[in-house]
Amino acid sequence: MNKKEMIDNFGFDRKTLNNWENGEKPKRALLYRTLEALPFAFVENVEKQMSDAKNNEKLLERKG
């Protein structure tokens, strides 16, 4: 996933992502590299699954 996709999907700003990419905090650098390695289609799929689960819960509440 590129930086623009990270910004659009997770609300990070470019400065934050640059700091994570080049910074001294190993955990943030790991998070950045992990996000970078994810295919955008995977992120879209997870988002869709979360939306479907929420919609299914609403349907169950109406019937229950």
CA torsion, points 9, 32, 42, 47, in degrees to nearest 10? -40
- Domain of 15? 3-63
Is the pLDDT score of 62 beyond 80? yes
pLDDT value of residue 52? 97
pTM, two decimal places:
0.77
The tally of domains found in the chain comes to 1
Would you say how long the chain is, in residues? 64
Measuring CA to CA, which residue among 24, 19, 22, 17 is closest to residue 1? 17
pLDDT average, residue stretch 40-61: 95
